Chain A
Amino acid sequence: MNRPFVGLLPVDPHRVYVYWDVPSPARGRLGLVSVCGTQQVPEVAARGGHYFHSLESRRIYIFELRCEGRVVARSNTVELPPDSETREQLPPEPAPSSHNLP
């Protein structure tokens, strides 16, 4: 019960959303670091969320919550899709205004 965790969600080809929770804050400074090391927030609160934007060419991400360098929790793996600029745009999922003129 009340184990620390960090979760990772793919948002789009350029963004991931990282959330975490350390129910009993570890002694020392908590930081959030991607395993590849290119993304990080040196100091975070015991619980929260963060969007990482403009990720580089790397597509596979794992994040770790670290306390004074020690890994407290490790996220799932997320693989981002290719850039959306080449995607053919389709109308989005139906919404009330999508199918019948107002």
Chain B
Amino acid sequence: MTRGSLAIVLHAHLPYVRHPEHDQFLEEYWFYEAMIETYLPLLGVFRKLAADRVRFRVTLNLSPTLLAMMQDRLLSERFGRRIENLLELCEKELTRRGAGSGEQRLARMYRTRLRGLEKLYRECTLGLPAAFGELQNLGVLEIVACAATHGFLPFLAATPHALNAQIAVGVAEYRRSFGRDPSGIWLPECAYVPQMDAALAAHGLRWFVVESHGIQHADPKPAYGTQSPVLTPGGLAAFGRDTLSARQVWSSHEGYPGDPWYREFYRDIGHSRDLTYIRPHLPAGIRFDTGLKYHRITSAGESKKLYDRARALDRARLHAAHFVRERARQLRDSPAPHPVLTAPYDAELFGHWWFEGPDWLEHVLRLAPGRIRTVTPSEYLAEHPPRHTARLGFSSWGDHGYGDVWVNPDTDWIYPALHRMADSAAEMARVRNPAPLTRRALNQCVRELLMAQASDWPFLIRRGGAPHYAAGRVRRHEANFRELERAIRGHRVCAGSVERLEQRLCPFPEIDYRIFRAA
């Protein structure tokens, strides 16, 4: 007899890194890498489970910028070429002079894996969003909405029209992609302030996930902590992240991904092979991960042993059994009448950072029936509508739990610029019956603004991931916005300029500049 429920929530997101102006562009490879390492493997796992008639539920968010890239023809062509290129690299590795038998065995493993992923990709003739949508139609996945470009919504509350636009465009893209209304929303960075309630409810959203302390510090304090959702004063259900299940998967010290038998992320042949040899497989000749990694974590030291796939999969099975056992124990011991453990993760953890993550997830979902019941938040709410209302404060799942990852002395210059643009967009939204070209320019303005609002840029600046690229993106979108604004206000919109900007930045085909009138 099982007691309680487990809601696994995967958040898949990448910033919009499409660069048609270059044949090869390093940041665009983030997308190809995540497709190969995370999105296709996860799709494969879910399809396999569904085909085997395993009873499972997973909640998935595909952010609108990721959806746009998955649906983009140019990126699709380039992605096909990237897989072919990596298959060529596997062949080279198999015949490389000096390659040991262990490395050749692993090169064969990667070749088989890439061929399988390529086949899966070719089978998805309508694209990955449609393939995930089919699993939603089967009832095993619940796909949820997200803000348009993953803006940090508590900061956009300073300009309510911008907050509303992020949510409205996110919901519209969901409808366009999946042909139905979303029930829940993934709040970017799990970031919440009470001022968001009205905008979320206005777009028909019924639930979201917050970081643990968002629930634990609510007023009044919820009796069952994060093990039962609470209603906000705006009538939305808030599910709190479960601390224990987070730590077991998240932490590099206590978490599963740090196991010595798992594949080492930081030993990629893209960084170690002779540059002449590896250059044809790098973006514009710049050192970058190829995904071919031959070592296991081994220990914290520099010396690494060769990866042993069979042993790593054994560990994934063991860790999955441990995870299921621990969740069952938590649920059994819970004082809540209908406990639910909400376990949200970045999808890219599975497969990208943690190579064996998709295998681990598959084992968890196969082992769960009879021990714990996996649910989606919507399913849970239908069975157990929350009765307790509490006011939640500001929280996020970022370092320190609030907003300082996104606003700090390195990034605070961004926010006045966003504020200025949002005010301008609200003014331009008053334009009535514009000529078709002016309408396109107005719509493009909104695309540029939304793109500048992505939480990824301040994150990448703060963490040093790609600070110049990230800062450049904010400045470029602002410059494009101003160029269009000047043309619109001066009644001299030029078709060539609009077209050029549309070609470079073309997500959200149904966007309507009047969205900035709404708030």
Contacts and interface: CB of A to CB of B under 8 A. Distances in A.
Nearest to A94: B346
Contacts of B398: 92-93
A86 B212 CA distance: 12
Interface residues of A, number: 42
A7 B209 CA distance: 26
Nearest to B391: A79
B258 A19 contact: no
Contacts, number: 154
Contacts of A78: 193
A7 B399 CA distance: 23
A78 B158 CA distance: 9
Contact of A7 (B159, B262, B400): B159
Nearest to B485: A1
Contacts of A81: 213, 217, 393-395, 402
B402 A84 contact: yes
B265 A1 contact: no
B157 interface: yes
Interface in A1-53: 1, 3, 5, 7-13, 15, 17, 19-21, 47, 49
**4 closest residue pairs by CB, A with B:** A92-B399, A81-B393, A100-B265, A7-B158
A100 B252 contact: yes
Contacts of A49: 412-413, 415-416
B224 interface: no
Contacts of B299: 101
B189 interface: yes
B217 to A, nearest CB: 5
Contacts of A97: 252
Contacts of A3: 423
Interface in A39-73: 47, 49
A99 B394 contact: no
Q: Determine the interface band of chain B, counting residues with CB < 8 A from chain A.
A: 35 or more
Contacts of A19: 412, 415-416, 419
Contacts of B251: 91, 98
12 contacts: A9-B415, A11-B407, A77-B195, A79-B394, A82-B393, A87-B216, A88-B213, A88-B243, A93-B399, A94-B250, A98-B353, A102-B300
Interface in B178-201: 189, 193-195
Interface of B: 154-155, 157-160, 189, 193-195, 211-213, 216-217, 241, 243, 246-247, 250-252, 255, 257-258, 262-266, 297, 299-300, 346, 348-349, 353-354, 393-395, 397-405, 407, 412-413, 415-416, 419-420, 423-424, 427, 463, 465, 489
A79 B346 contact: no
Contact of A12 (B262, B263, B403): B403
Contacts of B266: 100, 102
B419 A1 contact: no
A57 B399 CA distance: 24
A37 B399 CA distance: 31
A73 to B, nearest CB: 11
Given A5-B423, A19-B416, A92-B398, A11 B297 contact: no
A62 to B, nearest CB: 11
Nearest to B257: A99
Given A75-B158, A81-B402, A93-B346, 6 more contacts: A49-B415, A87-B217, A88-B213, A94-B250, A98-B251, A102-B300
B442 to A, nearest CB: 15
Contacts of A17: 407, 412, 415
Contacts of B416: 7, 19-21, 47, 49
Given A81-B217, A81-B395, A88-B213, A96 B415 contact: no
A90 B258 contact: no
Contacts of A99: 250, 252, 255, 257-258, 265, 349, 353-354
Contacts of A11: 402-404, 407
B250 A100 contact: no
A87 B216 CA distance: 8
A25 to B, nearest CB: 15
A56 to B, nearest CB: 17
B326 to A, nearest CB: 16
A95 B423 CA distance: 34
Contact of A88 (B212, B252, B263): B212
Contacts of A79: 193-194, 393-394
A47 B252 CA distance: 43
Contacts of A21: 416, 419-420
Nearest to B217: A82
A34 to B, nearest CB: 15
B402 A13 contact: yes
Contacts of A102: 266, 300
A49 B264 CA distance: 43
A101 B419 contact: no
Contact of A100 (B217, B247, B262, B400): B262
